[in-house]
Structure formats: structure tokens, C-alpha cells
Structure 1
Amino acid sequence: MEEHMAATSGTTGFTLNDLRGVLRKAAGDTDVIDGDIIDLTFGALGFDSLTMLEIAAVLDSEYQVKDPESVIQTGRTSREVLALVNGASGVGHVDNSVVIAAPYDLVWEMTNDVSSWPELFSEYASAEVLGRDSGTITFRLTTVPDENGAQWSWVSKRSMDKENGTVRAHRVETGPFAYMEIFWEYRTTAQGVRMRWVQDFHLLPEAPLDDAAMEERMNHNTVVQMARIKKRVEQRAGRA
């Protein structure tokens, strides 16, 4: 896959919403395109070979993607197509995990109670729930002031599947990001619950950091936040 990524496109800043528009033009206005499609294969979305050729044609005509046929042949999912179109050097990826010695139900409930995140995380000043729809929540996060007194705020959407131990989220208000897609996974082990966070993103050209610098910052901060969460959940488990 890396060979294809290096050989396909010089386009940057191609977002998931851009891709939704491409899919809609190629496949028609179907509700499935507005769903959580980031890791679904195009076959699972119901796209046949002719539709995939239409997708390649739109990528070529509207985004001048180099070798779009290779992109749609190699990219099996929206995530992979985003990576291919943006180029190997234009994609950020962070993958971290921690084992929490506490019952699954407690780990799940504490880490998915978005309204309590300002107490659970040290980086958030507030978390405002804007709406709920079945297992999906829309919310606004605001960070604590940085060393210069600046705060950042954005809206995200989060879909939770407790039975399968997965959470998928993305920024609705992307700010400096072309896109930010987040995947959380929970797995029970002999030592406790292994909580894994995967973040895939691409920063816009005008952003103050590039993807590599943001990866370094996220990796550092994720370790700090996971350690804090582990301590708080295990303390709660001990009291229980």
C-alpha cells in the first residue's frame, strides 16, 4: 500500500466531507453516505465496480487526483482513500493503549460519560452535550487555557457500541484539521480492561503544526491523559 500512496496524488486537505460529496455524485443521494462510513468497505456500502469507476472519474475531474483508478483499487475504505489522496506524508496516525485494573462496565461508563470529562481529563475545561440520538452523542469540548491564555473549542460526534467495545468519533467542527477521526476499543484481559485510542487526522496547510509535529504532541498528551484516567478509574473501582 505504501508504494501506491507515494505514487498517487499530491492533493492535500481532502476531507471526509469532500469524499462524501464525491460518493454522492457517483452513487446518487443515499442515506448510507451520511452514516459512519470511515471504516466500511465500499462493497459493504453497496458500491459496484461501475460506481467505483464513477468515483475515480469525480476524483479526477474535481480534485485532479493523480491515478484515481489506482486510488479506488487500493483504497478499500474511506479512511484508506483519504490517506491515499492526501499522500503518505500528509496523514497523521496515533495509536496508544493502557490497561485499567477495573471492571469493564465501570471503565466503559466512566470513560464514555462525556459530561464528566472535565474531571476525568486534565485538558478540558468544559464538555457540553448538544444532542443524543440512540448510541450517538454530539457535544462541544473546550480546552483549559494554554500558557498564553488561549482556549480551543470544537464540536464532535461520538457513536458508542458497548456490546462490541468500540467507539467511533469525528470532529464536526474541524478547525485546523482537514479531518480528525477517532476510534476507541475496549478489550477485557487477565490484567483488566485494555483501552486503546486510535486517532487519524490531517492538518490543513495553514495550521501552525504539520502532521508529524501533531503526532508527537498527541502521543505525549495521550500517555498523560491515559495515566490520569487509569488512576481515577482504579480508585473508583477500589472504593466500590
Structure 2
Amino acid sequence: MATPGFTLDDLRAVLRQAAGDTDVVDSDITDVPFEDLGFDSLAMLEVAAVLSSEHQMEDLDSVIGTRRTPREVVALVNGASGAGHVDNSVVIAAPYDLVWEMSNDVPSWPELFSEYASAEVLGRDGDTITFRLTTVPDESGTSWSWVSERHMDKENGTVRAHRVERGPFAYMEIFWEYRTTAEGVRMRWVQDFHLRPEAPLDDAAMEARMNHNTAIQMERIKKLVEQRAGRA
């Protein structure tokens, strides 16, 4: 199992070991795509091999390719050390374009998700959107609000996001994947996170809460998208 508290500097050492000494890893690489840093798929397999050897992590070859930036790999390693990880999917019987457009239309999320009261777009830069989400009040009347950044790649069927305002989370990394199947579009949500020590829940309790809530939201989205597809 990986060592807790894996940092960006730890990853820099792994990148140097995998690709040789390179000055690029000494810059601010946190959210720079690996391909822009010069790390192709073969180089990332070498990174996976080093991490597997040094941190006793298994099956990295199959998952490290879904991590686009150093931030996401750091979250992956910390997740293997016992931090939170949830992975859920649903198949939606609707065209790919419709599933993609409805689920990625952030301003409409208060209608698509039952948990959000508002979704305020703060900025856009190409396929990247920064926005503030506010939840509907819980049973105690409390609403929660935070800012997230989301990068959407429709051609490859992937979305990568993270919380900018982390609140009780030390980190929260999100990966969405869309794949066309014979039954429809398989929409998959992966969330890697770690709660701060002072948070009201621990990682295991948050995992259980997320798994429960994600199933509800996915079924709601499936129903709404399939209804729209039927009308179309």
C-alpha cells in the first residue's frame, strides 16, 4: 500500500527516474497535462512501473492513463494509501451527443441534479469552465457551496475536474468517462478524495455517502436524458 502524504515533489522524483533528469518537472507542473510535459503513453507506463515498485501499488498500468495531470496522479497515489475512492457507472439509452450535452451543461445542473440549488458559471476558457455550486439545504437547513474547475474533452469522452475551494477536503479529484455500448452510453464517475482531520466525517463515511448519493443522481440523470431522447 502506498505511503500516505504523497506530494508533488515525490512525483517529481518519480518523473525524473522514469524519464531522466529534465528541467521541466521543476516548474509549476501541477495542472499541466503530461503530454505537454513531454510524457507520452510509453513514458507514463514507466512512471506506473516506478510507482508500483516504490509504493507497492498494483494494477497501475490500467489506470494511470486516465490521469491527465500531476495533480491527478498525486490523488491516485494518496487514494491507494487509504483515502477515499468511489467508482460508479450507469448506462443511458440515448445518443452520445445528447448524453454528453445534457450532463455537461453546468448551468442546467439544478434541474438535472436533485442536490444542487444553483450553479453559477464564473469563467470559461475553451473547454474549461470554473463554476460555483450550492446545494439545496439539508435536513438541518444548511447549504454548502464551493468552486470547482472542470475540463471537458468530448472527442475522447472524458471530463476531469477538481475543487478549487476544498472546504473539508484535502483534495477532491473527479474523472468522468463516456463510452458507447450496445445498450447505450456508459457514463462513469470516479472520485478520489481525502478529508481533512477536522472534517465531520472520515473518508470511509464519505465514501458510503457518495456511493449512495451518486446512485440516486445517476438514475435521475438517466431518466431525464432518456425522456428527452424519447421526445426527440
For Structure 1 versus Structure 2, the TM-score category normalised by the shorter chain is 0.7 to 0.9
Between the aligned partners of 1:225 and 1:119, the Cα distance in structure 2 is 11
2:106 to 98, 101, 114: 114
Partner of 1:149: 141
Post-superposition Cα deviations, 1:194-223, rounded to whole Å, max 9, x if no partner, equal 100000001001000000000000000000
Partner of 1:177: 169
Partner of 2:216: 224
Post-superposition Cα deviations, 1:8-31, rounded to whole Å, max 9, x if no partner, equal 34x4xx6xxx627985x993335x
Post-superposition Cα deviations, 1:89-123, rounded to whole Å, max 9, x if no partner, equal 2x110000001011111000000000000000000
Partner of 2:25: 27
Indicate the SS of the match to 2:213.
helix
CA contact (8 A) 2:178 2:185 kept: yes
Partner AA of 2:39 in structure 1? A
**TM-score normalized with structure 1 length:** 0.74
Partner of 1:137: 129
Partner of 1:62: none
User: RMSD in angstroms over aligned alpha carbons?
Assistant: 3.2
Partner AA of 2:54 in structure 1? S
Partner of 2:15: none
Between the aligned partners of 2:203 and 2:38, the Cα distance in structure 1 is 30
> What is the correspondence of 1:1-240 to structure 2 with a 5 Å cutoff?
2=1, 5=2, 8-9=3-4, 11=5, 19=8, 23=12, 27-30=25-28, 32-36=29-33, 44=39, 70-71=54-55, 78=70, 79-84=72-77, 88-89=81-82, 91-240=83-232
Indicate the SS of the match to 2:206.
helix
**TM-score normalized with structure 2 length:** 0.77
Partner of 1:60: none
CA spacing shift, 1:231–1:207, aligned 2, 3 Å = same
Between the aligned partners of 1:87 and 1:101, the Cα distance in structure 2 is 33
Identity across the alignment (%):
68
Unaligned runs of 5+ in 2: 13-22, 48-52
Indicate the SS of the match to 2:192.
strand
Unaligned runs of 5+ in 1: 53-68
CA contact (8 A) 1:143 1:151 kept: yes
Between the aligned partners of 1:182 and 1:175, the Cα distance in structure 2 is 16
Post-superposition Cα deviations, 1:127-159, rounded to whole Å, max 9, x if no partner, equal 000111011000000000000010000000000
Partner AA of 1:28 in structure 2? D
